[in-house]
């Protein structure tokens, strides 16, 4: 495939690689191409620090464009994340930035490239696993590894939850990151249910889980004995509301 040329105002030319197969993507990585996601985050950095010779977008790679009840590709634009995925992930994507941002930003760029990582709490409560690509090929890993090492993300996979919920506090533009509380209930192999909770407080994301067949008050007590119990009162109040709401649904536990 012939690369496209992206010309910047100071006559800097970046060769844009658009692989259609995993082998092509792997070869471009080996040649030094820089993954760009939706380019909403890297463009300003390139203007400041200098442009690479090659960039790579996964927008034409089938494996990175999946949308389903248990899978989401890294090249999917945020405005494309709809009711084919669990509610917690759909609602998280729908609250990122403005409509213009959501029509450009990608799932992978948000999770790996953004400091806010708005989709990360939702992915954590889905207990999602990540498929990544490096010079040796593709493999599966956890989200903590992806975030820490900034892997090239191809997509996410998870088991469909019984139910899920999402809360994002109101916030002023340009202010601190708003509080996020994501929740999901999963069915275990033993027939019992387990509640997953992930909270973004500032730039930090904390996630915990606990059995939820014991009733809301016991669940909240158990969560309060985890790292979630060290959060500020405003965050703990939001956790209590969201957990009480999701456990009040008819989920059969």
Largest CA distance in the chain: 64
CATH 3.30.465.10 matches 14-52+59-160: yes
pLDDT digits (tens, 9 = 90+) for 33-47: 888 865 555 665 666
pLDDT digits (tens, 9 = 90+) for 155-178: 999 999 999 999 999 887 778 899
Burial of 50 (0-12, 13-18, 19+ CB in 10 A): exposed
**DSSP structure class, residue 173:** T
Burial of 119 (0-12, 13-18, 19+ CB in 10 A): buried
Taking the C-alpha atoms of residue 111 and residue 115, their distance in angstroms, rounded to an integer, is 8
Point out the least confidently predicted range of 23-32, 39-48, 234-243.
39-48
């Amino acid at each position: 495939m012939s690369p496209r040329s992206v010309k910047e105002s100071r006559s800097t030319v970046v060769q844009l690689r658009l692989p259609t197969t995993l082998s092509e993507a792997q070869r471009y990585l080996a040649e030094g191409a820089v993954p760009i996601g939706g380019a909403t985050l890297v463009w300003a950095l390139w203007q400041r620090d200098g442009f690479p010779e090659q960039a790579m977008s996964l927008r034409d790679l089938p494996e990175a464009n999946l949308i389903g009840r248990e899978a989401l590709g890294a090249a999917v634009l945020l405005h494309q994340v709809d009711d084919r995925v669990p509610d917690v992930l759909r609602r998280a994507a729908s609250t990122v930035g403005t409509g213009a941002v959501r029509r450009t930003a990608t799932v992978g760029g948000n999770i790996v490239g953004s400091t806010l990582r708005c989709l990360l709490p939702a992915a954590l409560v889905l207990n999602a696993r990540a498929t990544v690509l490096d010079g040796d090929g593709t493999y599966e890993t956890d989200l903590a590894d992806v975030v820490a090492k900034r892997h090239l993300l191809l997509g996410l996979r998870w088991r469909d939850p019984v139910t899920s919920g999402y809360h994002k506090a109101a916030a002023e533009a340009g202010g601190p990151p708003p509080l996020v509380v994501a929740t999901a209930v999963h069915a275990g192999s033993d027939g019992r249910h387990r509640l997953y909770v992930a909270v973004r407080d500032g730039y930090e994301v904390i996630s915990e889980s606990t059995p939820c067949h014991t009733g809301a008050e016991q669940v909240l007590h158990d969560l309060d004995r985890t790292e979630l119990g060290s959060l500020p009162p405003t965050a703990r109040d939001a956790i209590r509301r969201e957990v009480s709401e999701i456990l009040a649904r008819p989920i059969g536990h």
